[in-house]
Amino acid sequence: MEYAKMNIAELSALLRNREVSAKELAADALQAIAETDGNIGAYLTVAEEEAYRQAAAADEMLANGTAGALTGIPFAMKDNICTKGVRTTCASKMLENWYPVYDACVTERLKAAGAVMLGKTNMDEFAMGSSTENSALQITHNPASAAHVPGGSSGGSAAAVAADECAFAIGSDTGGSIRQPASFCGVVGMKPTYGTVSRYGLVAYASSFDQIGPLTKNVADNAAVLEAISCHDRRDSTSLPQFDTAYSSLIGKDLNGMRIGLPKEYFGEGIHPTVAKLVRDAAQQLEKAGAVLEECTLPAVSYALPAYYVLCCAEASSNLARFDGIRYGYRAQGVEDLDQLYRKTRTEGFGREVRRRILLGNYVLSAGYYDAYYKKAQQARTLLIRAFADLFGKYDMLLTPVAPTPAYKIGEKSSDPMQMALGDICTVPVNLGGLPAISVPCGTAEEDGANLPVGFQLIGPAFSEAKLYQAAYAYESANK
Amino acid sequence: MAKYESVIGLEVHIELRTKTKIFCDCPADHGGDPNTRCCPVCMGMPGTLPVLNKQVVDFAARAGMMLNCEIAHFSKMDRKNYFYPDLPKAYQISQLDHPLCEHGYIDINVNGEEKRIGITRIHIEEDAGKLVHMENGSGADCNRCGVPLIEIVSEPDIRTAAQAKAYLERLRELVRWVGVSDCQMEAGSMRCDVNLSIRPVGDSNLYTRSEIKNLNSLKHICAAIDAEKARQIDETEAGRELVQETRRYDPEKDRTYTMRVKENANDYRYFPDPDLVPIILTDEDHARLRAMIPDLPEERLEKYINEYKLPESTAKTLCDEPKLANVYQAAAEQVQQPKLLANLMLADAAAAEIPAGVWAELTNLCAANKINRSAPAKLLEAYRESGKEIAVLVTELGLEQVQDTGMLNTIADEVLAANPKAVADYKAGKEAAIKALMGQVMKRTKGTANPQEATAVLKEKLAKL
Amino acid sequence: MQLDAKTLDTLAWLSRLNIPEEETEALSESIAEMLTFFQQLSALDTQDVPPTAHIAPLENVLREDIPAETRLDRDLLLSGTESEDGFITLPKVIG
């Protein structure tokens, strides 16, 4: 386990200098998983055979001079991203034994880059949740404190990175599912601009919000992974045709004159005082590094949460209708007719939260309610997009907390979906706007005798990833 | 007793003749073993996404133009949510509030009475799969999943079965004519649902209607309309209230019956498909598509008879087959002798498969006496085999007509010398004997001699003998 | 507040879900709570505000009508599916 703590840049240097082979790295990482994951529960599937196969391919690339930044680097994949021949469960009983016959675009990209997939990580079932407690398959513990949740829905990915069970991980973010667990676990998580990473092969939760992104040990690694996975993909109609992927290009540049807004709505009631303090401290660090900080206001945030839940549940109710027990996944036994097959399969195959959101989604789309809920939420979305656009006329980016609190205890909120939903308040506006945002660790809060990581969030206009990395890196290097 | 009339609207589904499906690159044509013409996308596997086929938009817009519709500048795809085992995603991608085409019409003529039937809208959508009965239940085949369809919805302007028939026949003719579907009802590439209500003659209100689904021939559609009208009249006269419902037609009993009524009415929960972005058709797009719309079939027929001077039977044969007519039309615009072109094309069994440019070239070569009338058949055979240019093939096969009189003179002398009997016969007054001599000339020139020229040379020489 | 039984029943039908008896109360309360939460939106002035359906600034994303050169084998496509003679098997469908 001598390599497990190293970041991508360090590992890549060792690989290039032939100080270690991809195969040795894979073996080291698999050993780390074997020794650590029993206490963490980050992985749902460890794909040992697949890992060694990819490591062999990586060693070949290293030998023949075609290696890139991620060649030979071991990583973990969230279990809602399709991996050909490797079980992809979405942490649901519905897909517990589903083996995709195709690779997601992101899977293809990482394979082509020579990265080595160690396995698939736990999550809230179908990405619905914020603590990974909604996984139908296992519990994941926060590496900083076993009694606490890792956040979610990409909780397994964040925990795997934080527990040094991989060099980086891939997550998906519909309403904060990369950023919030990154904050809870103390790693860097980026939700890129909608349309920059292909959704082809990502099992859809809410299609107009879902976006894949990296979780890493530091900022520079994060930019390197995003550079590898973002591209135009003609199989995804919402994939943007042209954009600059030089995400690392501004890393190390000074922040002189960068304008950062602090929307006061994000620091008000309901925000844990330690979280607020740590985030304000981070803001001061950025100011010291040359940025110009200013308080601002984003009142539109107040209706972001209901709008988000209406739209997400609506899209989810339709996206998850295909799980009917006929073509793939779980099929209920002992049924006599089709209606029973549908109902029994779906009732048994989906967990409680998934069923709740499907019911809600069908409510807001049904005849007579569409205008009051669904259309209204779409209009609220427009208003929020406009409000963000106004702010980005004045600021290069906004700085906010990622979540109102540090990680909570396992079981503490899981029985109260509304409490859980309110925890998404800082992250969902970004997804409504299709914007990029990064979560960067900024210290720990002492709670229940544990030191729990806290992160701050930087939100930028579409395609501002390079700038977000620039600012995040400046903060990170000032606090090493 | 009150006299009733039917108020009928038709919903027609037509398969578009694209090469691939509407949202993936699987083949869209009929046939194949079950589940061999599908992929993760059309089987709705988790994580897959649709990408719209450009040709579907073009074909649907062309059909709309042919049916006098206004074509949208802004259109979008919506999800229609319902569970059925032939629908893998449990939603059909269709169009709700921004269909591709709206406000069209078809003019029909029934027993000399002209009538205009309005077309409310035409939208694009995906077909579902097929269910079959199996020993222990049902089986699903996804081959048809994602085959592109247009749904053509008429206004409730139809009053009789005869009008419905005329509307459908004309619709079929026009859609075939514009070349976007073969509209074969028997093969299922054209399907029709009937919406029917009755009302006292003179009343202009609309009353409770029933929908008769899955009608697959004109005969059944007409019979179903009559049977359903009679049933509704009976019910009304008997004082029973009609309910809005879906019915089927049983041709053996010649009556309609209720499909199982579900406790809960369907609520399709339409919403914009977040996986597919809007379709924008600019004025330039409209113009580009408009340029591809042929004249009406009857306008063409008239042109062929009056302008091209084709015999009526020839013109009809050409216009009967839209693809043939389109090739003919395109070729005719490049030749001086449209009649010769028609004759050449009708002599070939698969003329529609040959590009118009080739037909024009063959016609022009014949017309200029550069090849003989027997040459096109040989050239077409070689063309089908090699795909080479006609000019190249003419040279390769040595089919240029011999116009060289010097060479013809020599050959004629040889032939006359070698066939004294035929010469004697001719001299004795048997003019037909010249045919035998011509045959010899053709044989020696491998059929490339210009027949008029060769006859003239022979006659001249015989006269001198 | 609770959702009335009939509405819950209709929702369950539209969703093709059963509502286990022991979950009924909690579920109808929780759905009702969320719906109340959603009603915050009604206070919003959305007159003349167009709805946002797509977040990416895209239009006319279309593919050419060209068939795939290769296709997955049926055995692979139907792996993990109950099938017989190439058909996906399911209970008898009435109608």
A153: cis peptide before it, omega within 30°?
A: yes
Question: What share of chain B has pLDDT > 90, as a percent?
Answer: 51
- Chain A residues in contact with B40 (beta carbon < 8 A): 101-102
pLDDT score at B419: 85
Q: Which of residues 1-20 of A touch C (CB under 8 A)?
A: none
Whether residues B271 and A201 touch (CB distance < 8 A) is answered with: no
The residue with tokens 């113009």 is B287
Greater model confidence, C95 or B237: B237
pLDDT score at B408: 79
Greater model confidence, B251 or B367: B251
* pLDDT tens figures, B359-412: 988 888 888 878 877 788 888 888 888 888 888 888 887 777 666 667 778 888
Cα B17 from Cα B28, distance rounded (Å): 8
- Identify the band that residue A418 occupies on the pLDDT scale cut at 50, 70 and 90: confident
Average pLDDT, chain C: 91
Q: Which of residues 220-239 of A touch B (CB under 8 A)?
A: 234-238
In this model, does residue B108 exceed pLDDT 90?
Answer: yes
* Of B48, B140, B267, Cβ closest to residue A326: B140
Is the Cβ of A18 closer than 8 Å to some Cβ of chain B?
Answer: no
Q: Which two tokens stand for residue B62?
A: 């062309």
**Long-range pairs for A293-297: beta carbons < 8 A, 24 or more residues apart:** A293/A260, A293/A261, A293/A262, A293/A399, A294/A259, A294/A260, A294/A261, A294/A262, A294/A394, A294/A395, A295/A261, A295/A262, A295/A264, A296/A261, A296/A262, A296/A263, A296/A264, A296/A391, A296/A394, A296/A395, A296/A398, A297/A263, A297/A264, A297/A265
* Of C13, C74, C92, Cβ closest to residue B137: C92
* Of C74, C86, C91, Cβ closest to residue B137: C91
Greater model confidence, B370 or A103: A103
Cα B151 from Cα A292, distance rounded (Å): 58
- Chain B residues in contact with A204 (beta carbon < 8 A): 46-47, 275
B261 touches B32 (CB < 8 A): no
- Minimum distance, in Å, between the CA of residue B81 and any CA atom of chain A: 7
- Minimum distance, in Å, between the CA of residue A40 and any CA atom of chain C: 30
A427 touches A180 (CB < 8 A): yes
In this model, does residue A198 exceed pLDDT 90?
Answer: yes
A344 touches A335 (CB < 8 A): yes
Whether residues B279 and C60 touch (CB distance < 8 A) is answered with: yes
Determine which of B151-155, B210-214, C35-39 has the lowest per-residue pLDDT on average.
B210-214
The type of residue at A242 is Q
Question: What share of chain B has pLDDT > 70, as a percent?
Answer: 97
In this model, does residue B262 exceed pLDDT 60?
Answer: no
- Its pTM stands at 0.89
- The active-site residue out of A153, A183, A239, A464 is A153
Whether residues C84 and B134 touch (CB distance < 8 A) is answered with: yes
- The active-site residue out of A12, A78, A172, A198 is A78
C18 CB neighbour count, 10 Å cutoff: 16
Determine which of A71-75, A96-100, B226-230, B325-329 has the lowest per-residue pLDDT on average.
B325-329
Q: Computed over its alpha carbons, how large is the radius of gyration of chain A?
A: 21
Confirm whether A23 is a catalytic residue.
Answer: no
Listed by start position, the domains of chain B span 4-280, 294-396, 405-464
CA B235 from chain centre, in angstroms, equals 41
Whether residues A322 and B47 touch (CB distance < 8 A) is answered with: no
Listed by start position, the domains of chain A span 8-229
Q: Scanning every residue of chain C, which has its alpha carbon at the shortest distance from the alpha carbon of A329? A: C80
Whether residues C89 and B272 touch (CB distance < 8 A) is answered with: no
In this model, does residue B220 exceed pLDDT 80?
Answer: yes
Q: Are strands A259-263 and A397-401 parallel, antiparallel or unpaired?
A: parallel
* Of A238, A303, A372, Cβ closest to residue C54: A238
Q: What are phi and psi of A345, to 5 degrees?
A: -55, -50
Neighbouring chains of B at 3+ CB pairs under 8 Å are: A, C
Least Cα distance to B59 among B113, B123, B146 occurs for: B123
- Chain B residues in contact with C79 (beta carbon < 8 A): none
pLDDT score at B1: 46
Whether residues C65 and B20 touch (CB distance < 8 A) is answered with: yes
Q: Scanning every residue of chain C, which has its alpha carbon at the shortest distance from the alpha carbon of A373? A: C38
Q: Scanning every residue of chain A, which has its alpha carbon at the shortest distance from the alpha carbon of C60? A: A237
Whether residues A306 and C63 touch (CB distance < 8 A) is answered with: no
In this model, does residue B461 exceed pLDDT 90?
Answer: no
The domain made up of A8-229 has a fold known as Amidase signature (AS) enzymes (3.90.1300)
**Interface A-B: count of C-beta contacts within 8 A:** 96
Q: Which of residues 294-333 of A touch B (CB under 8 A)?
A: 314-315, 317-318, 321-324, 326-328
Is the Cβ of B392 closer than 8 Å to some Cβ of chain C?
Answer: no
Question: What share of chain A has pLDDT > 70, as a percent?
Answer: 100
B263: exposed, middle or buried (Cβ count in 10 Å: 0-12, 13-18, 19+) = exposed
Whether residues B280 and C59 touch (CB distance < 8 A) is answered with: yes
Question: What share of chain A has pLDDT > 90, as a percent?
Answer: 94
Neighbouring chains of C at 3+ CB pairs under 8 Å are: A, B
* Cα distance from N-terminal residue to C-terminal residue, chain A: 23
Q: How many residues does chain B have?
A: 465
Mean pLDDT calculated for residue range B58-70: 96
Whether residues A200 and B43 touch (CB distance < 8 A) is answered with: no
- Chain C residues in contact with A209 (beta carbon < 8 A): 55
Q: Scanning every residue of chain C, which has its alpha carbon at the shortest distance from the alpha carbon of A381? A: C52
- Chain C residues in contact with A338 (beta carbon < 8 A): 90-94
Average pLDDT, chain B: 89
* pLDDT tens figures, A146-173: 999 999 999 999 999 999 999 999 999 9
Q: Which of residues 50-79 of C touch A (CB under 8 A)?
A: 50-56, 58, 61, 63, 72, 76-77, 79
- Chain C residues in contact with A373 (beta carbon < 8 A): 38, 41
Question: Could you give the dihedral angle defined by the CA atoms of residues A238, A250, A70 and A111, in that order, rounded to the nearest 10 degrees?
Answer: 10
Whether residues B50 and A238 touch (CB distance < 8 A) is answered with: no
- Identify the band that residue A80 occupies on the pLDDT scale cut at 50, 70 and 90: very high
Mean pLDDT calculated for residue range A64-70: 95
Least Cα distance to B181 among B12, B315, B35, B51 occurs for: B12
Q: Which two tokens stand for residue A8?
A: 């991508």
Is the Cβ of C27 closer than 8 Å to some Cβ of chain A?
Answer: yes
pLDDT score at A467: 98
Cα B298 from Cα A8, distance rounded (Å): 73
Least Cα distance to B35 among B126, B125, B130, B149 occurs for: B130
Q: What are phi and psi of B335, to 5 degrees?
A: -130, 160
Q: Does domain B405-464 have CATH number 1.10.10.410?
A: yes
Interface test with B, best of C64, C65, C89 (most B CBs within 10 A): C65
* pLDDT tens figures, A203-224: 999 999 999 999 999 999 999 9
- Minimum distance, in Å, between the CA of residue C69 and any CA atom of chain A: 16
C-alpha distances in angstroms, C36 versus A124, A294, A420, A445?
A: 25, 35, 16, 34
- The active-site residue out of A12, A154, A157, A177 is A177
* Of B20, B54, B139, Cβ closest to residue C87: B139
Listed by start position, the domains of chain C span 5-43
In this model, does residue B2 exceed pLDDT 60?
Answer: no
